Chains A and B, each alone.
Chain A
Amino acid sequence: MTNSNSENPKDLETFREEVSHWLKTNVPAQPDFLLPESFMEVGTDQQFEFLRNWQQKIYEAGYLGMAWPKEYGGGGMPQIYQDIATAEMARQRVPFVPNTIGLNWAGPLILHSGTEEEKRKYIKGILSAEDIWCQGFSEPDHGSDLGNAQCRAVRDGDEYVVNGSKIWTSLGSYAKYMILLARTSTGDDNKYAGLSFFLSPMHVDGIDPQPIKKLTSEYGFCQTHFVDARIPADCLMGKEGEGWQVAMTTLMFERGATGGQAGGMSFMDLNMGDVVELSRRARRNGKPAIRDPMIRDELVKLLIEDQGNRMMNVRARIPALVSERPTAIAMSGKLRGTELKRRFTQFALSMQGANGGRFVSPNAVDGGKWQRSYFNSFSATIGGGTSQIQKNIVGERVLGLPKS
């Protein structure tokens, strides 16, 4: 990747205009169904096809994986171009690209630690959305305790035989591949040393992703069962017993603590601007809610917090201003962002007065997307390590407190 400072600002501005124009011209019309808010909430074929087509279109236009190497299907350009394109997508609030696990976790991982063969086999399909990826880390009995994974993979000739089950596999029904953490050895005293990491195919006898009905009454996650599923031995990534390290590298990409992602947006988030806008429409005592002193104070509290998060991300890039605890901001990003989202969507319901009691339906405020968003916000405060686990991690790794 080239240093962004070496780019001519004029060229960058021209490029931004080009992306902006392309997006305006090519963004698909609002469909007559409610689109999901993130890749974790793709619940119908209709939603999936819409979003997959959109990602394909963006990739073909050259605005995805722009900084990934050309020989594998990327654009081979400096990172700054992708950053500009992604920022423009966010600014115009176009639909998100659904292959998030491939684009942001599996892809960067393969480029970072994969073999030449793996890069040639997987990268292009990730970008074009031809090959959808899912993740098999969490298990039904071991939610946040990843190191305790019990799903077994036993070597048998040129294959591994997998038995067990994985849960919360977003896009599981649509995925062609899974990044899979499984136990290849049970003998060792160190539970981490028994883990191995696979780039596993999904379309194999004995692998069965079962959609889970969520608290929103929609679908979006699967529980994936493995019953004597035979996967090729060469889909092992690294060596047997290295699974924990590979998984940790993946989590670094997942938590956004490091660069390397393909770009594009994974979410189509409601934000604080939308909450303020809602407060102008909602009513309190015959007036817009935004006139109510209690509502105003709540809004301001949330806006201060939102701005604080934004400024933290800027400050994190200035070494002299984060020298005491350089990782504090990056390591707490998920905790801060997801908890704020949960609280402001919850607040958005209360602002609707009696209408807060409706759910996804034509009569609900904004079709019920606030209710859906509040419920779905828990997937982020729980998934990828609950907020409580995140606090342990920050407490122990950033503050140096003893293990719980």
Chain B
Amino acid sequence: MTKTIEFSEEQIMLLDTAMDFCRTQSPISKVRAQLDVANGFDTDQWRAMVDLGWLGVAIPESHGGIGLGMADVVPIVECMGRQLMGSPFFASTLAGQALVHGGTEAQKSTWLPRIAAGTIVTLALQEESGDWDLRNLTATATQDGDQVTLSGKKTFVMDATVADLIIASVSLDGNAVLVCIESGMIPENQIVREVVIDETRRCYEVSLDGITVPVSAMFAHQCFGEIENAALLILSAEMAGGIAGVLNTILEYLNTRKQFDRLIGSYQALKHPAVDILLGLEATRSHVYHAATVYDEGDGKELEISLKMAKAAASEHFAFAGDRAIQFHGGFGFTFECDAQLYLRRALWSQYQYGDEKYHRQHLASLLLD
């Protein structure tokens, strides 16, 4: 029989720890303080996460990790999303999974233990076109003997200035391939910060022009599918957390703000959409934990369906919740000071990462109806 949702003792523990940690470490005042910090995160906080073992959760024990699966990363990232915590956790975890699935043995033994110990690694997959199809590339690699010369531009490279390694996608003889670039190889002026909608994130445009790496820097397996799966899982989980966070922000206001001598939460025009947000949250979390359950052993198609459903649900419901959060705060909602904007920005950022709801529904149509 097909698996539905299972939740292990390890996951329960991780959820409890992460909930505590993120609440204490990342109150909204801290989130706001980080908005103006260059790297967008607190190094002590990062160290604490590394000490908890979180960066190694989904890295095999043979490579210095804890050897659990991505399903165990889900509760952690969900709690981070709830508190709008900004850190290179997302980038490093995802890049780690890229290495796990596609790296050469040498790349794995070099980088995976370091990732587990806190070294930051990131992916450079997106390009100027903004196309979500990760194999549709203009950046190129040209092989000359045992050297590969790169050219072109990558966008939305998260945490590039603090990363020791950037894994970029390029087209080599018309094939999409992944290549490891150590940060020392990239001239400083080829990394330029981008202005992105979610100010808790740090993203950079990286020009690959003139960078040369050895052939051994190329991945053994071009694991775009696995990267996309991992990204959809943790992104949707983070978004589920985000919906929970913004719902609580809305409820707090609805339960304290008075207009015409009544608490505004007593008006059905606000109460009913608040319930819609709750139901969106419950649906999203359920899709997410189902996807997490089938993640490590689900057959390809079932997993793909569950992940795309999770991301479609998360995108739709988080964007709705963020949008309503602004409106329900009235005039205050229009100000930067109101926390609603932080959630709306996060919702939109996440919606446009790795495909929005319409994009995934189009793929789901083929998976479910053909």
Given the contacts A297-B365, A400-B255, A336 and B279 also touching, CB distance less than 8 Å: yes
Given the contacts A301-B361, A395-B274, A314 and B369 also touching, CB distance less than 8 Å: no
The answer to whether A154 has its CB under 8 Å from any CB of chain B is no
Per the bound structure, the CA–CA distance linking A275 and B119 in Å amounts to 51
CB contacts (< 8 Å) of A391 on chain B: these are: 268, 271-272, 275
The answer to whether B329 has its CB under 8 Å from any CB of chain A is no
Tally of B interface residues using CB under 8 Å? 40
Per the bound structure, the CA–CA distance linking A403 and B265 in Å amounts to 8
Chain B 278-301 per-residue mask, 1 if CB under 8 angstroms from chain A, else 0: 110011111101100000000000
Q: Which residue of A lies closest to B12 (CB)?
A: A320
Q: Which residue of A lies closest to B280 (CB)?
A: A308
Per the bound structure, the CA–CA distance linking A404 and B270 in Å amounts to 10
Residue contact B268 to A388, C-beta cutoff 8 Å = yes
Query: In B253-277, which residues have CB < 8 Å from any A CB?
Result: 254-255, 262-263, 265-268, 271-272, 274-275
Tally of A interface residues using CB under 8 Å? 42
The answer to whether A148 has its CB under 8 Å from any CB of chain B is no
Of A296, A309, A392, which contacts B283 at CB under 8 A?
A309
Residue contact B268 to A392, C-beta cutoff 8 Å = yes
Residue contact B361 to A297, C-beta cutoff 8 Å = yes
Which applies to chain B's interface (DSSP): helix, strand, loop or mixed?
helix
Per the bound structure, the CA–CA distance linking A308 and B284 in Å amounts to 7
Query: In B350-370, which residues have CB < 8 Å from any A CB?
Result: 358, 361-362, 364-365, 368-369
Residue contact A311 to B12, C-beta cutoff 8 Å = no
The answer to whether A364 has its CB under 8 Å from any CB of chain B is no
Q: How far is the CB of B276 from chain A (nearest CB, A)?
A: 8
Residue contact B369 to A296, C-beta cutoff 8 Å = yes
Of A303, A311, A400, A403, which contacts B368 at CB under 8 A?
A303
The answer to whether B332 has its CB under 8 Å from any CB of chain A is no
CB contacts (< 8 Å) of B5 on chain A: these are: 311, 314-315, 318, 321
The answer to whether A61 has its CB under 8 Å from any CB of chain B is no
CB contacts (< 8 Å) of A89 on chain B: these are: none
The answer to whether A178 has its CB under 8 Å from any CB of chain B is no
Q: Which of A303, A307, A396, A403 has the most CB of B within 10 A?
A: A307
CB contacts (< 8 Å) of A395 on chain B: these are: 265, 271-272, 274-275
Residue contact B244 to A324, C-beta cutoff 8 Å = yes
Which applies to chain A's interface (DSSP): helix, strand, loop or mixed?
helix
Residue contact B369 to A401, C-beta cutoff 8 Å = no
Per the bound structure, the CA–CA distance linking A315 and B251 in Å amounts to 23
Residue contact B283 to A394, C-beta cutoff 8 Å = no
The answer to whether A80 has its CB under 8 Å from any CB of chain B is no
Q: Which of B11, B263, B286, B365 has the most CB of A within 10 A?
A: B286
CB contacts (< 8 Å) of B272 on chain A: these are: 388, 391-392, 395
Residue contact A307 to B271, C-beta cutoff 8 Å = no
Residue contact B365 to A320, C-beta cutoff 8 Å = no
The answer to whether A305 has its CB under 8 Å from any CB of chain B is yes
Residue contact A305 to B7, C-beta cutoff 8 Å = no
The answer to whether A290 has its CB under 8 Å from any CB of chain B is yes
The answer to whether A233 has its CB under 8 Å from any CB of chain B is no
Per the bound structure, the CA–CA distance linking A303 and B361 in Å amounts to 10
Residue contact B274 to A321, C-beta cutoff 8 Å = no
CB contacts (< 8 Å) of A276 on chain B: these are: 368-369
The answer to whether B120 has its CB under 8 Å from any CB of chain A is no
Given the contacts A308-B287, A314-B286, A395-B271, A300 and B361 also touching, CB distance less than 8 Å: yes
The answer to whether B216 has its CB under 8 Å from any CB of chain A is no
Given the contacts A320-B15, A402-B266, A300 and B289 also touching, CB distance less than 8 Å: no
Per the bound structure, the CA–CA distance linking A354 and B312 in Å amounts to 32
CB contacts (< 8 Å) of B175 on chain A: these are: none
Q: Which residue of B lies closest to A312 (CB)?
A: B286
Given the contacts A311-B290, A391-B275, A321 and B364 also touching, CB distance less than 8 Å: no
CB contacts (< 8 Å) of A308 on chain B: these are: 283-284, 286-287, 309, 313
Q: How far is the CB of A333 from chain B (nearest CB, A)?
A: 11
Q: Known pairs A301-B361, A401-B251; list 8 more (Cβ under 8 Å).
A: A304-B287, A312-B282, A395-B274, A396-B271, A398-B275, A399-B278, A402-B255, A404-B266
27 contacts between A and B (CB under 8 A): A290-B369, A296-B369, A297-B358, A299-B365, A301-B361, A307-B290, A309-B283, A311-B4, A311-B286, A314-B4, A314-B5, A314-B286, A318-B5, A320-B12, A321-B7, A321-B289, A324-B244, A328-B282, A391-B272, A392-B268, A395-B274, A399-B274, A401-B271, A402-B255, A402-B263, A404-B268, A404-B271
A residues lining the B interface (CB < 8 Å): 276, 279, 290, 296-297, 299-301, 303-305, 307-312, 314-315, 318, 320-321, 324-325, 328-329, 332, 335-336, 388, 391-392, 394-396, 398-404
